[in-house]
Chains A and B, each alone.
Chain A
Amino acid sequence: MPGIYLHIPFCKQKCHYCNFYSLASLKYRDVFVNALLKEMHLRNDYLQGKHIETVYFGGGTPSLLSIDEINRIVIEISTLFHLDSQAEITLEANPDNLSPEYLQALKSRTAINRLSIGVQSFFDDDLRYLHRVHDGNHARKAIEAAKQTGFDNMTIDLIYGIPTLTTEKWGKNLSLFFEYDIPHLSSYALTVEPKTALQVLIDKQKLKPAKEDETLSHFEILLDQARQHGFEQYEISNYALPGFYARHNSAYWLGGHYLGLGPSAHSFNGHSRQWNVKNMKQYIESETVDRIVLEKEVLTKSQQYNEYVMTSLRTIWGCNAEHIQNVFGEEYVISFRQKIHKYVEGQKIVQKGNRFTLTDAGKLFADGIAGDLFVDKG
C-alpha cells in the first residue's frame, strides 16, 4: 500500500472553492522541480525501503508539467525508492491542458498509467461559478482524446450542489459520464471551506450559497445512478466499477503509509503525520540548506483511533470491531460498541459480523457519527 504523493502547486488561475496550496504563476517552476527532486533525496528513508505501490501527481495542476519534467520526477523516484513494476501512477489533469499531443506523449513516453481529469461539470455556467479555467467543450474534448489515446484507467471529478447546477443539469452531467464509459468517478458536494474565495464571495453576497435540499437530491440521484450502472461507492465521494478502485486514495482511508513531497504535502507513517511548509520560497530553500521546513504531529493512541474511525467509516470496508480490539484494545472496542448501537438501531449503520458500514441515510451524517464515536483523551 505505501505511496508517494507529489504536490505540484501551480495553476493558471485559482478556483474559488479550492483550499489547496497553489500559486497562479509559473515563476518558480524550474527551481521547484529541482527542489522536489532534492526533497526525495533528503527523505528517501521515510518509507523505510518499502515497495512503492502508488505514485500520485496532485495539485495544483500537475498537467502543467512538461513530459520531461514528469519523466525526471518518475525516474528519480525509481532510482531512490523501490518502485513496484505494477505501481499505479496517477496524474491529475485539467481539461484545457489535455491536447491530443500531450496525451499521446504522456501515454507513450511517461510511466503515467492513470488519469484524473478535473471536469467538475460539463456546463459553462457551473464552471464559471467555480472559477475554473476550462469550459464544457474542453471537458468533453479532453475525455474523448484521453480515451482515444488509450487511457482506460481514468477518473473524472464532478461536483454537485453548485447553486447554478439544477437537478436536470446534474442528471445530464451523470449521463454524459456514464456514456463515456469511464470506470471511476470522484464526486463530492461543493464545500465552502474557510479562507477560500468562495467563502468570502458568499459572505459578501456576491455568490449564492448552495441549497441544502438540492445538494441532497443530487446526492440521492448520484447514488441511484451509480448503482444502476454497476458502480460501487467504495468511499463517500468515490465510485468505481469493480477492479478500478483508486489504489492511492484507498491507502488514505485504510491507514496506509505515504510520503508527501512538495509544499503543503502531508506524510504519514502510522503514528505521526507531518506536513511541509505551505510556502514556495521557504520550500525551494530546502535545496540549499538540506532541510525541509515542516510541521509534525505524533498521534496519540486515541487520535489514531479517531482517525481510524473517521476514515474507515467512509468506506465500503467499514469500521471493524475486531481490528479495534486488536490494535487499540478492550477499552476502545467497548466504547465503540456502546456508542455505535444507537446508529445501528436508527438504521444509519449496518452491522455484518464485526463490520460496521454506513447506510445511505448514514452517509449523510458520516462526520457527526464519526465525531460521536471519537474517544477524547490523550
Chain B
Amino acid sequence: MENIRNFCIIAHIDHGKSTLADRLLEFTGTVSKRDAQAQVLDDMDLERERGITIKSHAIQMDYEQDNKKYVLNLIDTPGHVDFSYEVSRSIAACEGALLVVDATQGIQAQTISNLYLAIEHDLEIIPVLNKMDLDNAMPDEVKDQIVDMLGCDEEDILEASGKTGYGVDKILETIVSQVPSPKGDPEAPLQALIFDSVFNPFRGIIAYFRIFNGEIKKGDLVKFVNTGKEYNADEIGVLRLKQEPRKVLRTGDVGYIISGIKTSKEVKVGDTITHVENPCTTIIGGFEDVKPMVFAGIYPTDADDYEELRTAIEKLQLNDASLTFEPESSLALGFGFRCGFLGLLHMEIIQERLDREFDMSVITTMPNVSYRVVTNKKETVEVHNPSGLPEQTYIDHIEEPFIRAQIITRTEYIGPLIKLCLDKRGELKNQVYLTTSRVELTVDMPLGEIVFDFYDKLKSISKGYASFDYHISGYRPAKLVKLDILLNGEPVDALSTLTHQDNAYGLGRRICVKLKDLIPRQQFDIAVQAAIGAKIIARETIKAVRKDVTAKCYGGDITRKRKLLEKQKKGKKRMRQVGNVEVPQQAFLVVLRLND
C-alpha cells in the first residue's frame, strides 16, 4: 500500500492537462511514443477535437525511484462546469492533485473551484506551471497568483512543458515524495468508491472504483449501496492502457469491475461498493444523485426518423447516465423527446454526438431549467417544459434553481460584468482581488438566466478573459410567467418560455421582432404575437409576399433557375407547419439568437 500513489490533475480547459498526462504515460513507459496517439486519455473523437475531457478516465503507471517500485494511478477529471460533481468524485478517490496552470494565462475560475474541492478533501497539492516553453509565459506573475492561492513557497512550484516533456521527471519524483500513500484497513469490510463508469457494447457497463478499506476478489458477491443492487464480480482488474484482469484488488488500489450491468442508470458515480456478506458499516460520503438541470426538446428533422432518434438517444444514455429523456410531442414539431442535461455544454455535446455518431439531424428547442411549481394544494410538481405548466389558477408559486457562480476576470472588465450579472437578476455576494489585476466575483443568480446568451455575453464583454464556474445552490421562489408565442393566433408550444415577470415585455417584443426576420414571408400576412395568458403584449406582422417572380427565363437561365427552385423546395420540406404558417427550424431557437 505504501508504494501506491493516487492522484488527479486539476486544470482549466486548454491549460494542457491532457498533453501533460500523455508525457507522464510516455515517461513511465506506459505507452511507447510510437503508438501514443496524442492525448491518450481522451478517447472520444469529440473530446480530442474540443480539447475537453468529457468523461473522466483512469490509468495505472509503473514507476521506479531509488530502487523502489511504485504504482501511480492517474485519475483524469472532466474540465467543464457541467461536470463538477464528477470532478468531486474523482478528487475524492485521490490523495494528491497536480494543479496545472498555464504559464501564459494564469489561474481561471474553474481551476479555483476544483482546487477548493481538492483542498476540502485534504489532497496534497502539487502546483505545476505548464507551457513554460512558450515565449509569452509569465512565470513570475502566475507564480504570485499560485502562492497567493495556496500559501505555498515559490520554490515548491514546478515548471514544466507538456509539449517538450520538460520537467516531467521532476513531477513524478514529487508525486512519489509528496503525495501520501493510501491509508485504510486491509482487514476491514470492503468499502470502495465508484468514480466513473463506461459502456462497452460487449461487456455492459464497466465501473471504475477506488478501494478505501478491505479487498475485493474475482467472483465476490458485491452490492452497490445506493442503488441496492447486487452483482457477481465477474471480472475485476486494473486500468493499464487496456484493462488487465486481476484475481484480487486491495486497499488503496484503483480498478474496474465488470458484472453484467446493462444500463448506465445502475452505476451511480459516488456510490459505495461493498460485500453482500459482511458489508461495511458506513458508506462513503458525498454521494449525490445528480439530476439534469437543463431541459430541451429534441425532434427529428424528418418526422419519419423518430424511432431512429430514440435508438440513438438510448445508445448515448448507455455511457452517459446523466442524460435523461422521455417522449414528448409538440403541435409544431410532432414527436420527439424531452431531454435533460447537466448543463448547456452537455446539451451541445449530445447534439453533436447525435450528428456525428448517429448521423441524426435534429431540431433542438429552446432549453429551459427544471422548475418547481407549488400548487394551491401545496403539492410540488417538477416542470421540465413550459408547456407542461399547470393552469395559472392552480399555481401558488413557482421556484427556480439558483446557482452560485464564480467569475474571474481582469479588473478592467469588472464594471460591465457586474452589470451583466445584475441584468440577469444576479446578486453580487463577494468580490476578491486575487492580484492587483485579477478579481474574483461571487454571484448568486438564477440558472434560467444562464441558459440564454449568458456565456456569449460574458466572453464578449471580457474579450474572452473572464472564466466562469458555478454550482447549484438551491431553489428560490420567483415571479415567473409563461410567455407564449402565437402565429396567426395559433400558440406555438415549442416557443413558450418561462421568464421573469419584469423581463416578459422586453423579451416578448424581441422574440417577435426576431421571428419576423426568421420566418419567410408567405402568401398571406402572418401575425406574430407574444402573450401572457390571454393578454397580448407584443405584435409584429410578416407581410404577405405579393409576387415571387416576374423575371426573364431564357436558355441560359433554365438550369440555374431549376436548381434554385429545387433548393428552395428542399428547404421548405424541412420547415414545420404551424396552422397554415411554414416555420423554418432556426426559428425554434429564436431566443438563443436574439443577439445575432
Contact = CB atoms under 8 A, between A and B. Distances in A.
Interface in A216-258: 216, 219, 235-237, 249, 252-253, 258
Contacts of B377: none
A265 B572 CA distance: 31
Interface stretch (A120-128, A172-180, A367-375): A367-375
B570 interface: yes
Contact of B548 (A188, A268, A366): A366
Contact of A364 (B549, B555, B566, B570): B549
A297 interface: yes
Interface stretch (A42-50, A201-209, A306-314): A306-314
Interface in B557-580: 558-559, 561-562, 565-566, 568-570, 572-573
A306 B562 contact: yes
A30 interface: no
A62 interface: no
B535 interface: no
Nearest to A161: B550
Contacts of B554: 249, 252
A28 interface: no
A237 B555 contact: no
Contact of B558 (A5, A310, A364, A366): A310
Q: What band does the interface of chain B fall in when counting residues whose beta carbon is under 8 Å from A?
A: 20 to 34
Nearest to B523: A365
A275 interface: yes
A260 interface: yes
Interface string A269-285: 00001010000000000
Interface residues of A, number: 44
Among B523, B548, B568, B572, the most chain A Cβ lie within 10 Å of the Cβ of B548
B547 interface: yes
A212 interface: yes
* Contact residues of A: prevailing secondary structure: mixed
Interface in B87-143: none
Nearest to B554: A252
B566 A306 contact: yes
Contacts of A191: 551-552
* Contact residues of B: prevailing secondary structure: helix
Contacts of B559: 266, 273, 275, 297
A305 to B, nearest CB: 10
A317 B549 CA distance: 19
Nearest to A238: B552
Contacts of A189: 547, 550-551
Contacts of A61: none
Given A307-B562, A372-B569, A376-B566, A215 B555 contact: no
Nearest to B572: A371
B546 A188 contact: no
Given A20-B556, A311-B553, A371-B568, A303 B562 contact: yes
Among A215, A266, A363, the most chain B Cβ lie within 10 Å of the Cβ of A266
27 contacts: A161-B550, A189-B547, A191-B552, A215-B550, A216-B546, A219-B550, A235-B553, A253-B553, A266-B555, A266-B559, A273-B559, A275-B556, A303-B562, A306-B566, A307-B558, A310-B558, A311-B558, A364-B548, A364-B549, A365-B549, A366-B549, A368-B523, A368-B549, A370-B565, A371-B568, A371-B569, A372-B569
